[in-house]
Amino acid sequence: MSKTFDQGKDEVGKLCKYFATNRKSFLVPGVKEAHVRQSLIDPFFEALGWDVRNESMAAPQYREVIPEDSLDVEGQQKAPDYTFRVGTLPKFYVEAKKCGININADPAPAYQLRRYGFSAKLALSILTDFEELGVYDCASRPRPSDKASHARIQYFGFAEYPDRWREIWDVFSREAVWSGMFDQYAASKRKRGTSEVDSEFLKDIEGWRDVLARNLALRNSDLSTDDLNAAVQRIIDRIVFLRIAEDRGLESYGQLLELCNQPHIYGHFMSGLCRKADEKYNSGLFHFQKESGVSDAPDTLTPRLVVDDKALKPILQSLYFEHGSPYNFGVLPVEILGTVYERFLGKVIRLTAGHQAKVEEKPEVRKAGGVYYTPAYIVNYIVQNTIGKQIEGKSPADLAGGKTKPPFRVLDMACGSGSFLIGAYQFLLEHCLKWYQANPSKRHAKAVYQNAKGETRLTIAERKRILTTHIFGVDIDRQAVETAKLSLLLKALEGENDTTLSEQMKLFHARALPNLSNNIKCGNSLIASDFSLVPEDLVRVRAFDWDVQFPDAMKAGGFDAVIGNPPYVRQETLGAGFKEYANVHYRVYHSVADLYAYFIERGVSLLRPDGWFSYIVANKWMRANYGEPLRKWLKEQQVEEIIDFGDLPVFKGATTYPCIIRIRKTPAETQRRCEDISIVQMDTLNFVDLQECVENGKYLIRRTSLDDKGWSLSDERTQTLIEKIRAAGVPLGEYVKGKIYRGVLTGLNKAFVIDRATRERLIAEDSQSAEIIKPFLAGRDIKRYQTPQSDQFLILMPKGWTREKSRNAKDAWGWLQKNYPAVALHIAPFAAAGQKRYDKGEYWWELRACEYYHEFEKPKIIVPAIVKSASYAFDEENHYSNDKTSIVQTDDLYLLGVLNSRVSDIILHSISSTKHGGYFEYKPMYVSQLPIRSIDLSDASQKSIHDRIVQLAESMLALTPKLREATSESKKATLQNAITTTDAEIDRLVYELYGLTDEEIKIVEGQ
């Protein structure tokens, strides 16, 4: 079906002439929409290169264009008329109408289309009867009152198609969609502040939680906090499940709405719909009776609750088209529901002393800065490169195992709302279906069937089997566990309706869904029962014993794949005692490590031999001090791949510096066979296929080249160069005999950091103030080669100063007021805040203990903590500087020149942590590693280079302030040219010192 632009334009031109000639016949009453689609709309999109009629004979479920019959179910259309896809991913919908419908003015068709597109989180969709065509932005919430023109970004009459074909082709042709031009166009049309379906649905269910929590707390005075949270979650989950089931055709449309017509809504909801659902689905979501083989106790909590109609009725009504609901749950992807719940679970209900419900953010979420769900392309990549690599070519029977072989098992040990488990389950469903299609047999009658459209589908029994056999998860949050179960159950039912489900249930004599309590469990993946002998402690930390909870998997040696996105939070979130426990149980322990370090070690330990592990985690472990134990441990593992995203915004709304790490657990005797690690350093998120992007951008590094002090992921040429530079010098820390210091941390800047006017006032009031007020620089004040200037000052009274100066006066504060009255009066209002500081001195007005305050009053090199490139300044004016800087106590201008050179930067950028916007951390832990070429002053050639660099550094120190002071453009240009020339000469001399070749210089200058 491949078409060129010109071929398409020619075809659409002929189609327009045909319509113009036969227009009246298409407008005759009684002409059906199907005729318009077949005669006009199908050929229109074929001219855009789409295989609308499936001439390639792809299996029905893998068609790139999915056409639907315009069939109304209970007054609601079942699905969009066309779904255009890349692979199996929907990109846009097309809603077709009979000719004569006034698409330009009638709001109803536009509202219908936008509800579809909005619910499926599609960027754009099309409404057309061929005579007219409207392109709609589907990101914003549709409302019944919207005009037909609302959110319409393009409009065409059929006569315009040939002349405006470029506009249409460059967005909606198959070529444009597959190349990413469609996505770029959609992004350019997106309005700022648009709230998409996940954000809108999140607002809705958060509102429901608030209403239900307050009403349940009011009407059920015996509810505990845990029971209240559980009850609200279960009620919302059941409502969502049943409403989705209605729009999917699994349940009668409007049954929840009908409850609103009678009193005692909650009682009828529980005794009628939920009891019926329990019998039909057997899912655990509706679990009211004890069942054999099920670990969860039946729900005795929610049936006894009292819920007022005034609380429940508006919730149920808000879910329906008739009451202005923007959602079509038939097209709402389960994956989107998971992203909504992920953020929903970031808050918890708390009961006040008066038994009133308050919803607040969980402490660990607040500390982490919010909840960030994993994008689908990350989930898919990790799934394809762990599960996919292991099951390729294997039959469902192979994966199911047998007497001599365990089944294939996938684990997410911090599963949250289940996004990775859903991705894994979907991958396994597709794999098994493809295998059955490629190997047809009557023996597979229990596994596959053909639906009314001729599509081969997995039976619900087979989907249940795949789910319970292969998918496993753990999370410390009970509500997250319930949400993961709900998402997986909805995924299991995808594509089914009441007719197909009923037929299969009769055929297999089984209820529709499994109970997942033996697959998805609540517990602390990192802590077992050996944490404490006190039962209350084990309950508090939710201790989890893997051998007990998953006995079959652990007896078989573990899981075949461990995937996920563990929490990026400090280990303190697990409470008192965890550090002591981790120090004993984890080789990657560090006192300030983030939790993900432990999740990596535990995850790999849970793999069977030849199993695969892959996580997306923060990349800080590669360079941070706390990552050293993890780095050492990882060098003993078979690390296969690292994809570093740097500061790219993988997680919307957060800068987390993520990377994907993939590890294969090989037997000890083969562990060292592969010494190469595949590396990809991503520089954009503007790709259609991450897999293709990785293949094109990867390179190999040797495991042995990785330094325990910090991992550099540079390619082999760059790594060889870095090793050469390192070998030519000594670490800066050694070169300056350890005289590298962090800037001053006050803990209370508003008290101790003052401006120039305040300094002058304090000295005018009391001249003695001058001796404890020091010039104070911030990181932003430090510029390359510039003499630092600042209008800020530091009130400096370090720990021990008061005792020493007052000779141990009993009334220390009284002594300060008497001897430094102006300063005492200034800081007095901050006494309470000063007292609360953990880093104060002996008295609240003193700064923390520091042995090197005196070093600030010596010549020194100052460097800001976070900059894009070398920005070392030289100070001889006794400035102190804040904790966003570091100082190197020296008057060595040769060193200043070397540090400001490109050679130093290529080293630092290879070892330093990255920051958002292309910045790097120039902190002592990194700066101290910079290799400095020592000079043998008895060697004339070395001494000549040394002296020349000193001379040039002096020139830079003289030129930069003059540039800052210059007023005329010509003078600025002259000075800038001199600075550029001098800088380049320093670089040239440093290249010579380190013995770099022309090719190596190109690498340095190309960084």
pLDDT tens digits for 945-990? Answer: 999 999 999 999 999 988 888 888 889 899 999 999 999 999 999 9
Q: Please say if the pLDDT value at position 830 is more than 90.
A: yes
| Residue 569 DSSP label | S
Instruction: Give the 3-state secondary structure of 602-667.
Output: HHHHCEEEEEEEEEEEEHHHHCCHHHHHHHHHHCCCEEEEEEECCCCCCCCCCCCCEEEEEEECCC
User: What is the per-residue pLDDT across 741-777, written as a single tens digit (0 to 9) for each?
Assistant: 999 999 999 999 999 999 999 999 999 999 999 999 9
Q: Please say if the pLDDT value at position 12 is more than 90.
A: yes
CA distance 479 to 240: 15
Q: What is the pLDDT of residue 507?
A: 61
Q: What is the pLDDT of residue 71?
A: 44
**Mean pLDDT on 143-160:** 95
CA distance 139 to 196: 5
467 — pLDDT class (breaks 50, 70, 90): very high
Q: Please say if the pLDDT value at position 710 is more than 90.
A: no
**Mean pLDDT on 397-423:** 94
Q: Is 684 exposed, middle or buried (CB count within 10 Å of its CB: 0-12, 13-18, 19+)?
A: exposed
Which amino acid is residue 440, in one-letter code?
A: P
Residue 442: count other Cβ atoms within 10 Å of its Cβ. 5
Q: Supply the mean pLDDT for the chain.
A: 90
Q: Which of 373 and 994 is assigned the larger pLDDT? A: 994
Cα Dmax for the chain: 107
CA distance 353 to 360: 15
The answer to whether residues 776 and 753 touch, using CB atoms and an 8 Å cutoff, is yes
**Mean pLDDT on 562-571:** 88
- Scanning the structure block, which residue is given the tokens 């060292």? 672
User: What is the per-residue pLDDT across 883-896, written as a single tens digit (0 to 9) for each?
Assistant: 999 999 999 999 99
The answer to whether residues 573 and 364 touch, using CB atoms and an 8 Å cutoff, is yes
Q: Please say if the pLDDT value at position 505 is more than 80.
A: no
CA distance 339 to 349: 20
- Scanning the structure block, which residue is given the tokens 């894009």? 868
**Mean pLDDT on 610-628:** 93
What is the SS3 assignment for 270? helix
Q: Which of 58 and 216 is assigned the larger pLDDT? A: 216
Q: Please say if the pLDDT value at position 369 is more than 70.
A: no
Q: Please say if the pLDDT value at position 813 is more than 80.
A: yes
The answer to whether residues 505 and 551 touch, using CB atoms and an 8 Å cutoff, is no
Instruction: Give the 3-state secondary structure of 731-786.
Output: EHHHHCCCCEEECECCCCHHHHEEEHHHHHHHHHHCHHHHHHEEEEECHHHCCCCC
250 Cβ contact partners less than 8 Å away, ≥ 6 residues apart? 493, 496, 497, 498, 501
665 — pLDDT class (breaks 50, 70, 90): very high
Q: Please say if the pLDDT value at position 6 is more than 70.
A: yes
Which amino acid is residue 255, in one-letter code?
A: Q
106 — pLDDT class (breaks 50, 70, 90): very high
- Residue 618 phi/psi, 5° resolution? -65, 145
CA distance 772 to 644: 47
- Scanning the structure block, which residue is given the tokens 């292991």? 390
Closest CA to 328 of 124, 122, 116, 493: 116
**Mean pLDDT on 769-786:** 94
- Residue 640 phi/psi, 5° resolution? -95, -35
Q: Is 516 exposed, middle or buried (CB count within 10 Å of its CB: 0-12, 13-18, 19+)?
A: buried
**Mean pLDDT on 689-697:** 91
Task: Report the range of poorest mean pLDDT among 6-20, 134-148, 178-192, 899-913.
Answer: 178-192
CA distance 643 to 662: 9
**Percent of the chain topping pLDDT 70:** 95
Closest CA to 281 of 317, 248, 232: 248
DSSP annotation string for 155-203: EEEGGGTTTTHHHHHHHHSHHHHHHTHHHHHHHHHPPTT---HHHHHHH
Q: Please say if the pLDDT value at position 75 is more than 60.
A: no
Q: Please say if the pLDDT value at position 996 is more than 50.
A: yes
Q: What is the pLDDT of residue 647?
A: 84
Task: Report the range of poorest mean pLDDT among 594-608, 698-712, 897-911.
Answer: 698-712
Q: What is the pLDDT of residue 279?
A: 83
Q: Please say if the pLDDT value at position 508 is more than 90.
A: no
Closest CA to 582 of 637, 524, 527: 527
Q: What is the pLDDT of residue 501?
A: 73
**Mean pLDDT on 408-426:** 95
